[in-house]
A = this chain, B = another copy of it.
Amino acid sequence: MSPPRGRPPTYDRDEALGRLLAAFWEKGYSTATLDDLVEATGMNRPSLYGAFGDKKAMYLAALDLFRGGMLQQMEHLLFGAARIEDALAALMEGALAVYFSGENGARGCVAICTATAEATLDPDIRERLHLVIQSIDEIVARRLERAIAEGQVPASLDPMRTARVLGSIVHSMAVRTRSGEARADLGALGRDAAAMVLAAGGVTAAARSLN
């Protein structure tokens, strides 16, 4: 593999994409201007366009990067704990750690908090949002399946339906973060929800048939 022909880029594409993600995360898609993105990456406009395409492509690429990292971390947090109680606690605490990790404080989740606004107008963005939501549901459901297999929760628990409830708590934590709620209060919300779900034995076939 010989080095490429022309003048070598001065930027690192992955790092630049990370900076793009951070910029969109704070400002949202339509509020972030090209000048913002230029400043965030340190690149100039033509380089940005050459590397990523137009503004929307940058946003989509940033969302994909986010989803990848999110899934990796959730996998780690959820499946690294032996007890389902600990796994769910790690999920909630890990989400909060990300939501409060911005330089300028509380920024929530880039997909839930910024893509949702655009979802009505752009099918590609809506698809990305859906993908993030679906990914969360599915990975939590997989962890619940393991808990069933290990006898930590009743077999009557419906993994996917229960996961959707837990995922919903995570979504709201993201929104609430951005609304200015204190981290301690959100931690309590996450713990309360997880404890209640486990106390109820999750969403069960019985509870479903009630309605």
Binding site for B on A (CB under 8 A): 26-31, 89, 104, 106-108, 112-114, 116-121, 126-127, 129-130, 133, 161-162, 164-165, 167-169, 171-173, 175-176, 178-181, 188-189, 191-193, 195-197, 199-203, 207-208, 210-211
Whether A196 contacts B195 in the complex (CB less than 8 A), given A104-B120, A133-B175, A179-B133, comes out as: no
Chain B: minimal CB distance from A194 (Å): 9
Q: Is the beta-carbon distance between A180 and B130 smaller than 8 angstroms?
A: yes
Q: Is the beta-carbon distance between B188 and A116 smaller than 8 angstroms?
A: no
- Chain B residues contacting A172 (CB-CB under 8 Å) are 167-169, 171-172
Q: Is the beta-carbon distance between A179 and B116 smaller than 8 angstroms?
A: yes
Q: Which residue in B28, B167, B181 is a CB contact (below 8 Å) of A118?
A: B28
Q: Is the beta-carbon distance between B193 and A119 smaller than 8 angstroms?
A: no
- Chain B residues contacting A169 (CB-CB under 8 Å) are 165, 168-169, 172
Chain B: minimal CB distance from A23 (Å): 12
Q: Is the beta-carbon distance between B129 and A178 smaller than 8 angstroms?
A: yes
Q: Is the beta-carbon distance between A180 and B126 smaller than 8 angstroms?
A: yes
Chain B: minimal CB distance from A148 (Å): 16
- Chain B residues contacting A129 (CB-CB under 8 Å) are 175, 178-179
Q: Is the beta-carbon distance between B175 and A195 smaller than 8 angstroms?
A: no
